[in-house]
Structure formats: C-alpha cells, structure tokens
C-alpha cells in the first residue's frame, strides 16, 4: 500500500467521527442502545484507521493525527458524555441526579479532549498510552449504562453511572502507562472478545426483550463478559507492559 492506503486510513477516521455524530443524534432521539452500538462501531473504525495507516508505508502526517483526535473526541468523548447526561428512560428517577450527571458528563468530555490533545502534541510516538485511552473509557461508560440505566440489568442506578464514569474519566489523565492493543500484545485476544461481547449484548436489546427471556439472558451474559474484559484492561493493562528501560550510566561515571 502507498499513498492510497493513507487515503483509506483517513476515510476510516472520517467514518469514526461520523458514527460518533450519529451516536449523539440517537441519544437525543431517545435510543441509547443504537448509540452504544455506534460507539462500539467507532472503535472498529479507529482500529482500522491505525492498521491502514501502518500498512500504507507512508509516514503519518499532522493532518491524520489531528483528524484522528477530533474523531476520537466526538465518538469516545462527546458521545459517552451525552450518554451519561441525557435520560429519557425513568426521567423521574434521574431528576435528583441532574447536576451530578451534567457535571460528570462535561468533565468526561473535557478530560477526553485534553487527553487527546496531549496525545497528538506530545505522546503519539510512544509505544504505550500515558493514561487510559479514550476508546477504553467509552466502553467502560457503555458498561455502566447497560447495568445502571438502559436496559438497567441492575435496575436504574445513578450512583453506579456517576461514580463509575468519574473514575474512568480521571484515569484518562493519570500518569500511568496503558498498552496499545496491537498484534503481539497479551491482551489483544481478550479485548477483541470484549468488543464482540458488547455488540452481542446490545443487538438483542434492540428488540426490548422482557426480563428473563432468552434474548435478555443472552444480552446479560454478553454484558458480563464485556464488563470483565474492560476491568481486565484497567487492572492488568499497566502490568502487561515491560518495565521502562534504565538508562546506562555515562562513561566514567563511578557512582
């Protein structure tokens, strides 16, 4: 692949941003399930973008990095923030939490943008992420919403959504190394299963199955698998990276 591969990579970046805009539109229209499905699809386009970029053989340019960060900001920052803020199901139960969901949602969006700006300007060349990546944050928010909002496997639980979102938002900007999920990484298979599990969970929920029905139980089981994979990344991800190399002492240094 040559410069044409770079064009394909930019198209994947554009698709990522467009599904993020679509996710926001679905949330505002009252369909969080389709919005969550689009956010997960954005994760696929984001991975495809990186794959095509590496295979193109053309060095990444400023435009590609900026476009990628803008698309990620929409799909993995703004869309999850709106997912937390807007509540069309059980609005009376969410009403007392309006200030909390608004504050946490705005903080999530701001920290996601700040994290992506730092990545674009200072950290894009590193072999790891400094702070949890925004796609992983978006997946975590989806898990919180599935269990605490729509469809509410654990019932309507504002505390879970608010506190969980606040925690993963802060983890985006902490100075902790997290792995990039590329070929050869020990967590690659687990993260692939996580994304697939969330798709399997969300698709049956589009039919609004009743609690206890086969489709509902399938969605619940897949959501648990997805949540376990997300937790695995946060807990084991930093430990899966090799320790930073210790620089050799300069010649003549006898200390």
Domain ranges of the chain: 3-240
Considering only the top CATH level, what class is 3-240?
mainly alpha
Residues 59, 55: Cα–Cα separation, whole Å: 10
pTM of the model: 0.92
Mean pLDDT of 119-132: 90
Decide if 9 contacts 52 (C-beta within 8 A): yes
Asked if 81 and 106 touch (Cβ cutoff 8 Å), the reply is yes
Structure confidence by residue, pLDDT tens digits, 168-199: 999 999 999 999 987 778 899 999 999 999 99
What pLDDT does 247 receive? 52
Model pLDDT for residues 64-83, shown as the tens digit of each residue: 788 999 999 999 999 999 99
Mean pLDDT for the chain overall = 90
Q: What is the pLDDT of residues 208-237, one digit of tens each?
A: 999 999 999 999 999 999 999 999 999 999
**Residue 152 buriedness (CB in 10 A; 0-12 / 13-18 / 19+):** middle
């Amino acid at each position: 692949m040559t410069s044409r591969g770079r064009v394909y990579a930019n198209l994947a970046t554009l698709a990522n941003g467009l599904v993020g805009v679509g996710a926001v539109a679905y949330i505002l229209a009252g369909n969080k399930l389709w919005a969550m499905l689009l956010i997960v699809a954005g994760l696929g386009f984001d991975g495809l973008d990186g794959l095509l970029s590496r295979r193109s053989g053309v060095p990444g340019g400023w435009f590609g990095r900026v476009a990628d960060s803008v698309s990620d900001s929409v799909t993995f920052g703004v869309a999850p923030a709106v997912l937390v803020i807007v509540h069309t199901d059980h609005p009376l139960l969410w009403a007392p939490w309006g200030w909390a969901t608004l504050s946490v949602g705005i903080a999530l969006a701001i920290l996601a943008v700040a994290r992506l700006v730092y990545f674009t300007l200072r950290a894009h060349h590193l072999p790891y992420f400094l702070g949890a990546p925004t796609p992983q944050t978006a997946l975590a928010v989806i898990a919180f919403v599935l269990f605490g909002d729509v469809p509410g496997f654990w019932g309507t639980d504002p505390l879970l959504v608010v506190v969980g979102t606040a925690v993963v938002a802060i983890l985006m900007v902490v100075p902790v190394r997290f792995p990039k999920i590329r070929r050869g990484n020990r967590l690659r298979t687990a993260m692939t299963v996580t994304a697939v599990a969330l798709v399997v969970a969300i698709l049956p929920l589009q039919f609004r199955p009743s609690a206890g029905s086969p489709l509902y139980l399938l969605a619940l089981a897949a959501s648990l698998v997805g949540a376990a994979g997300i937790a695995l990344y946060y807990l084991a991800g930093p430990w899966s990276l090799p320790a930073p190399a210790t620089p050799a002492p300069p010649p003549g240094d006898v200390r």
